Amino acid sequence: MLLSSSNQAPTGDLLVVENLEVAIPEEKRDVTIVNGISFTVPAGRTLGVVGESGSGKSLTSLTVMGQLPKNLKLASGSIRLNGEELTTLSTDRRRRLRGKEMAMIFQEPMTSLNPSYRVGAQIVEMVRNHQDVSRAEARKRAIEMLKLVGIPRAEEVVDDYPHQLSGGMRQRVMIALALANEPTLLIADEPTTALDVTIQAQILELMKRLQAELGMSIILITHDLGVVAETCDDVVVMYAGEIVERARVEELFAEPKHPYTRGLLESIPDIDTEVDVLPSIPGTVPTPQSMGTGCRFASRCPQAFDYCRENTPPEIRVNDTSAAKCWLYDPEVVAQHHPEHTAA
Amino acid sequence: MAKFILRRLFHAVIVVFVISLLIFFSIRLTGDPVAVMFAAGEPSQQAIDNLTAELGLDQPIWVQYGIFLRDLITFDLGTSFRTGQSVSSMVAATIGPTTLLAAAGMAVAILIAFPVGIVSAVKRGTVLDFGGRMFSLIGISFPNFWLGIMLILIFAVMLGWFPASGYGTPQHFVLPAITLGLILSGILSRLVRSSMLEVLNQQYIATAHSKGLRSWVVIFRHGLRNALIPTVTFMGVQFGGLLAGTVIIEQVFSWPGLGRMIIDAINARDYPVVQGGVIVLALITVAVNLLVDLSYSILNPRIKAGGSDS
């Protein structure tokens, strides 16, 4: 059910994204920056989207929300929420889904709340934008939500301005805001990156608890594999605007397939082994303009061979629950083109 | 809050003191008022000495300044050399027209600059934005007296829609207020545009969109509200410039205001009138800036007047 190749969405898939392509419109030729992204998020589960900055993970989430920056366009693809196609909805219908069916938490809790309004007013606005309730009822709901996310003295904090709260508290407020209308899908874009490690753990714990209580699905965007291991059910790894690997979370850590994923995992320090130099992946992510044919990771890949540099790999299914965009998993290509075999 | 206001009042006293020094000595560089008064005839030395003594100009200059300052503290602005009228009553008669003109000019500037600046920012990079920016540029580049003369030529002389000069009816306000306001709206719309652009890039705007709010709600409630903070500061500072502008505009439109009174007094070397007029203009500017500072704590919850920000 994780694999995009299954055209029919099995029941229980809340979100089905297929072949998403985001581009910068340019006069001669559009520059594609997110290319052929497909994934599904089952109801009540968490999908982790992992990648370096610039890999297109945030753009993917903004596309799902329907709030791509004006200078970008959705070139093609399909997004279905509960079976309803979103890409063809009118902007007004799409807008009404935001904050109600799907909500988003952003990376920077320090700047994602409006500094000019009390936090309660910002939650009240969210509630009243989608529910026909009085101001007093919405305020009650705001306090209730603040309590739910574990904010002490919620009755007082509701009248605080964002600058009166710490980063961790603000992120709790953001979560309270996002969940105020009990959305079925929560997109969390690096929700803990800007926070202290201890606060990070609390926030992740909170998200897990609320997911169990409210039953929503979560897309968790992060560059932190530790966060993925703790919270996600399934993972997609993004590189240079593409998904290069998808797997169940246990499998990804136990048996990473794509050389890029392996590189990412190797560059996490291990508490038990002493190393002088922490391994890193040499080079940087290619820019969309410089991407030619061939595997986009080939220039940085320790296992690349000539064939990789000239031919773009498709997503190759490795087993029932995992797939990788890597020629190493195509036995025919390996047999015919891999130096180990051709030399023999 | 009370402490903050007290401190600002203390600042105001210092500002007024410095202004009093500057205006007192600089006006004396323009020449001898007695010579202007006797410009028509050939007075005897006795007559000149008498008048000089009568006006108090025979005293050493520091003594003259001391007397001026002493009177100022008791809100006595002195009497006009020319007419013998008290300067206070002259100021009282002209301050109304000037304040009304400045307020009308500010209103015109706001009514033009906010829509232009907001549309420019929201439709960044489009023809509308280009038009808005051209408007700003023209507004900034135009000398206001020239614009005033052009408006008189077109709307008063050629079309006859509005009176060319004078004071009294609402129609009299139209041309001078537009002249003042258009010039200010050029620079103000530019500021509104850049503040809006900065604010619209903020993360909380993305949050507001993610709540499913209508675009105009996001732009006005979440965008403009925050863009107002730098804009209002600027308008406070600019109010001084606006008052300075009225000095010229009043001349062009024969507006019976403080500015024209000061210009006439400078020409006549009527020292007390110039000093009194300038001091009052300075007081108005200081008062407006104090009001702007107080409005901060309303607009921006992160700033509490008094500086007791946590």
Checking if the pLDDT of A318 tops 80, the result is yes
* pLDDT above 70 as % of chain A: 94
Strands in chain A per DSSP E: 13-24, 31-42, 46-50, 73-81, 84-85, 102-105, 185-189, 217-222, 234-239, 242-248, 316-319, 322-324
Q: What is the residue-level pLDDT of chain B in tens, covering all 310 positions?
A: 778 788 888 888 888 889 888 988 888 887 777 777 777 677 778 888 888 887 878 888 888 888 888 888 888 888 888 888 888 888 888 888 888 888 898 899 999 999 999 999 998 888 998 988 888 888 888 887 888 888 888 887 888 788 877 787 888 888 888 888 888 888 899 999 999 999 998 889 999 999 999 989 999 999 999 998 888 888 888 887 788 888 888 888 888 888 889 988 888 888 889 888 898 888 888 888 888 887 777 777 776 644 443 3
Contacts of A101 in chain B (CB under 8 A): none
Q: Does B308 touch chain A (CB under 8 A)?
A: no
Candidates B210, B228, B297: best to mutate against A (most CBs of A within 10 A) is B210
Q: Which residues contact B310 (CB under 8 A, 6 or more apart)?
A: A164
Contacts of A112 in chain B (CB under 8 A): 203-204, 206-207
What ipTM describes this predicted complex? 0.85
Q: Does B226 touch chain A (CB under 8 A)?
A: yes
Distance CA A106, CA B305 (A): 32
Q: In the predicted model, what is the mean pLDDT of chain A?
A: 86
| Residues B205 and B222: beta-carbon distance below 8 Å | yes
Q: Which residue among A112, A130, A163 places its CB closest to the CB of B203?
A: A112
Work out the angle at residue B121's Cα, subtended by the Cα atoms of residues B234 and A34, and round it to the nearest 5 degrees: 135
Query: Cβ separation of A174 and B225 shorter than 8 Å?
Result: no
Checking if the pLDDT of A112 tops 60, the result is yes
B79 DSSP 8-state letter? B
Query: Cβ separation of A114 and B226 shorter than 8 Å?
Result: yes
Question: Position of tokens 């407020």?
Answer: A173
Distance CA B15, CA A20 (A): 64
Distance from CA of B99 to the nearest CA of A (A): 32
Q: Which residue among B203, B226, B302 places its CB closest to the CB of A108?
A: B203
| Residues A143 and A135: beta-carbon distance below 8 Å | no
Contacts of B208 in chain A (CB under 8 A): 114
Q: Which residues contact B17 (CB under 8 A, 6 or more apart)?
A: none
Tell me which chain A residue has its CA closest to the CA of residue B209: A67
Distance from CA of A248 to the nearest CA of B (A): 29
Contacts of A104 in chain B (CB under 8 A): 206-207, 210
Question: Position of tokens 């232009």?
Answer: B116
Distance from CA of A199 to the nearest CA of B (A): 21
The CB-based long-range contact list for B88-91 (8 Å cut-off, 24+ gap) reads: B88/B276, B90/B261, B90/B273, B90/B276, B91/B258, B91/B261, B91/B276, B91/B277, B91/B280
Contacts of B209 in chain A (CB under 8 A): 67, 98
Distance CA A285, CA B289 (A): 52
Checking if the pLDDT of A280 tops 80, the result is no
Q: Which residue among A112, A116, A130 places its CB closest to the CB of B225?
A: A116
Query: Quick one: pLDDT at residue B158?
Result: 83
- The whole-angstrom distance between residue A306's C-alpha and the CA centroid of its chain comes to 32
Q: Which residues contact A281 (CB under 8 A, 6 or more apart)?
A: A260, A263, A264, A267, A300
Least confident range from A51-65, A114-128, B176-190, B234-248: namely B234-248
A66-90 average pLDDT score: 89
Contacts of A116 in chain B (CB under 8 A): 225-226, 299-301
Q: Which two tokens stand for residue A26?
A: 């340019």
3-class secondary-structure state, position B86: strand
Query: Quick one: pLDDT at residue A156?
Result: 92
A150-162 average pLDDT score: 91
Tell me which chain A residue has its CA closest to the CA of residue B225: A116
All domains in chain B, ordered by first residue: 87-299 (1.10.3720.10)
User: How sure is the predictor about A10, in pLDDT bands with cuts at 50, 70 and 90?
Assistant: very low
Q: Does B301 touch chain A (CB under 8 A)?
A: yes
A-B interface: how many C-beta pairs under 8 angstroms?
72
Q: Which residue among A112, A116, A126 places its CB closest to the CB of B226?
A: A116
Question: Position of tokens 């002389």?
Answer: B157
A321-335 average pLDDT score: 88
A51-75 average pLDDT score: 87
Query: Cβ separation of A114 and B207 shorter than 8 Å?
Result: yes
Tell me which chain B residue has its CA closest to the CA of residue A97: B212
User: How sure is the predictor about A343, in pLDDT bands with cuts at 50, 70 and 90?
Assistant: low
Question: Position of tokens 């500017």?
Answer: B285
A193-209 average pLDDT score: 84
Distance CA A246, CA B170 (A): 73
Give the residue with greater pLDDT, B15 vs A5: B15
Residue B269: CB atoms within 10 Å? 20
Contacts of B300 in chain A (CB under 8 A): 115-116
Distance from CA of A63 to the nearest CA of B (A): 12
Q: Does B300 touch chain A (CB under 8 A)?
A: yes
Distance from CA of B211 to the nearest CA of A (A): 4
Query: Quick one: pLDDT at residue A247?
Result: 92
Residue type at B215 in one-letter notation: S
Query: Quick one: pLDDT at residue A282?
Result: 76
Question: Position of tokens 């105009």?
Answer: B216
Q: Which residue among B210, B299, B302 places its CB closest to the CB of A99?
A: B210
B157 DSSP 8-state letter? I
Distance CA A142, CA A134 (A): 12
Query: Quick one: pLDDT at residue B272?
Result: 87
Question: Position of tokens 């139209």?
Answer: B174
Residues in chain A, total? 344
Q: Does B123 touch chain A (CB under 8 A)?
A: no
Q: Which two tokens stand for residue B136?
A: 């700003």
3-class secondary-structure state, position A194: coil
Q: Which residue among A115, A130, A178 places its CB closest to the CB of B226?
A: A115
Candidates B124, B126, B211: best to mutate against A (most CBs of A within 10 A) is B211
Query: Cβ separation of A177 and B207 shorter than 8 Å?
Result: yes
Distance CA A91, CA A87 (A): 9
Residue A280: CB atoms within 10 Å? 10
| Torsions phi, psi for A144 (to 5 deg) | -60, -45
Query: Quick one: pLDDT at residue B304?
Result: 60
Highest mean pLDDT among A23-27, A83-87, A200-204: A83-87
Highest mean pLDDT among A19-23, A285-289, B152-156, B304-308: A19-23
Q: Which residue among A116, A129, A161 places its CB closest to the CB of B211?
A: A129
Beta bridge partners of residue A188, listed in sequence order: A105, A220
Q: Does B262 touch chain A (CB under 8 A)?
A: no
For residues A202-213, one letter each, b for 16 or more C-beta atoms within 10 angstroms of the residue's C-beta and e for the rest, the string is: bbbebbeebbee
| Residues A258 and A329: beta-carbon distance below 8 Å | no
Q: Which two tokens stand for residue B284?
A: 């108005």
Contacts of A126 in chain B (CB under 8 A): 211
Q: Does B214 touch chain A (CB under 8 A)?
A: yes
Checking if the pLDDT of A233 tops 90, the result is yes
Tell me which chain B residue has its CA closest to the CA of residue A114: B204
Question: Considering only CB atoms, which residues of chain A are within 8 Å of chain B?
Answer: 65, 67, 95-100, 103-104, 106-108, 111-118, 125-126, 129-130, 161, 163-164, 174, 177-178
Candidates A68, A91, A97, A116: best to mutate against B (most CBs of B within 10 A) is A116
Distance from CA of B122 to the nearest CA of A (A): 11
Distance CA A332, CA A328 (A): 9
Distance from CA of A85 to the nearest CA of B (A): 18
Query: Cβ separation of B211 and A98 shorter than 8 Å?
Result: yes
| Residues B303 and B233: beta-carbon distance below 8 Å | no
Checking if the pLDDT of A5 tops 50, the result is no
Checking if the pLDDT of A269 tops 80, the result is no
